[in-house]
C-alpha cells in the first residue's frame, strides 16, 4: 500500500491525474480503475475519480500485485561499504538494475542481496523489492542502502520523507555554469510528450536540487548535487532544465563516445541509524570511468591556456 500526502501546490488537481503523476508506474486510466474499484481511499473514504484535491489529504492506494518476477539469489560480487544486523550499504556499479522487472529478471542488486543476506531482508517492499528503501538509476553508480528488517525499513523510509536521510551526488554537466552554487526548485512530473520521460511541468510534484560547482572546464562543469526531494530522474531533469544536461545522458542530453551513460555518481549518504540513532555519513570513490573523464577534461582545459 502506498501512502501519499498531496502538497498545497497540488490543490485543484483531479485525483486520478495526481495519482498518475505521483506514482511513476501508474497511468491515468489505471489510476481511474483503482479509484472505481475502491482501491483508493481519501482520508479513509472512497472518493469519485473526478474528486479534486484540496491539499494535505491522506491518500491510501492499494496497488495490484506486480507481474510475477522470480527474484532468485545470484552470486554477484558486491562492493559493500557498510553492513550490520539492520542495514547494508552498497556501492552500486553503473549498469546494474536495482530490482527485478520485466526485461531485467536477473543480474540485479536484489538478486545479489538475496545471495549475500538470505532471508534477512525486510519484506516491506514485497517479494520483488526485498530490503529496497530507495532506488538509483541503472546507469548511475554509487551508494544505495537496503534494510534487513521491517523496523529498519520503516525508519529509513520515514527519514526519506523528512529529509534526514541525505543523498549527495557528483556529476559532470554540459557547458559552464555561471553561478558557483544555487538551487533548482522546479516541479517534476511525467513529460506530456513522452510518458517514459520526466520533465519540469507546472503541475508536477515539488522537486528541489541544491548544487555547487567544484571545477569548470572547457564545455563542462564538475558539480556536487544534494537532493532535498527524491523525484524520479530528478538531477538529470533539473540540470537539463537549466540547459546543462548531465554529460553522457542519452535521455535528457546526448550520448558521448567517451562515456557509457550519464556521468552521475551517488558519492555520499547520511542517515540516522534506525536502531541506535547514530548519525552516519558514508562515502565511496568515483568510478574509474568518471575519473578518466575528469582527467580528460582537465587535460583539455590545460591545453587551452
Q: Which are the catalytic amino acids?
A: 137
Copy the grid coordinates of residue 177.
Answer: 555554469
Selection from 6, 19, 110, 8 nearest residue 62 by Cα: 19
Q: How far apart are the first and last CA of the chain?
A: 58
Name which of 179, 186, 252 is nearest 211 in CA terms. Answer: 179
Burial class (CB in 10 A: 0-12, 13-18, 19+), 178: exposed
The span from the CA of 1 to the CA of 124, in Å, is 10
Grid cell listed for 47? 472518493
Residue 116: name the closest of 160, 152, 76 by CA.
76
Q: Which three cell numbers stand for residue 4?
A: 501519499
- The partner residues of 171 in beta bridges, in order of sequence, read 223, 264
Amino acid at each position: 500500500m502506498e501512502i501519499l500526502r498531496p502538497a498545497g501546490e497540488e490543490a485543484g488537481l483531479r485525483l486520478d491525474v495526481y495519482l498518475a503523476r505521483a506514482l511513476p508506474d501508474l497511468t491515468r486510466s489505471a489510476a481511474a480503475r483503482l479509484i472505481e474499484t475502491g482501491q483508493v481511499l481519501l482520508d479513509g473514504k472512497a472518493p469519485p475519480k473526478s474528486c479534486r484535491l484540496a491539499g494535505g489529504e491522506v491518500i491510501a492506494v492499494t496497488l495490484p500485485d506486480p507481474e510475477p518476477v522470480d527474484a532468485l539469489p545470484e552470486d554477484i560480487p558486491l562492493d559493500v561499504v557498510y553492513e550490520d544486523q539492520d542495514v547494508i550499504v552498497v556501492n552500486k556499479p553503473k549498469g546494474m538494475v536495482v530490482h527485478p522487472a520485466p526485461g531485467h529478471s536477473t543480474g540485479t542488486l536484489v538478486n545479489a542481496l538475496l545471495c549475500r543476506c538470505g532471508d534477512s531482508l525486510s519484506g516491506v517492499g514485497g517479494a520483488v523489492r526485498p530490503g529496497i528503501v530507495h532506488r538509483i538509476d541503472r546507469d548511475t553508480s554509487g551508494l544505495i542502502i537496503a534494510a534487513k528488517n521491517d523496523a529498519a525499513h520503516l525508519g529509513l523510509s520515514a527519514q526519506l520523507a523528512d529529509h534526514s536521510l541525505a543523498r549527495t551526488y557528483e556529476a559532470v554537466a554540459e557547458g559552464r555554469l555561471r553561478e558557483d552554487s544555487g538551487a533548482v526548485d522546479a516541479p517534476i512530473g511525467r513529460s506530456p510528450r513522452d510518458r517514459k520521460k520526466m520533465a519540469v511541468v507546472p503541475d508536477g510534484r515539488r522537486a528541489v536540487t541544491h548544487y555547487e560547482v567544484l571545477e569548470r572546464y572547457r564545455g563542462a562543469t564538475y558539480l556536487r548535487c544534494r537532493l532535498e526531494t527524491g523525484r524520479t530522474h530528478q538531477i538529470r531533469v533539473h540540470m537539463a532544465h537549466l540547459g546543462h544536461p548531465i554529460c553522457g545522458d542519452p535521455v535528457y542530453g546526448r550520448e558521448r563516445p567517451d562515456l557509457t551513460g550519464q556521468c552521475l555518481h551517488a558519492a555520499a549518504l547520511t542517515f540516522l541509524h534506525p536502531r541506535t540513532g547514530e548519525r552516519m555519513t558514508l562515502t565511496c570513490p568515483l568510478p574509474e570511468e568518471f575519473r578518466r573523464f575528469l582527467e580528460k577534461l582537465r587535460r583539455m582545459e590545460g591545453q587551452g591556456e
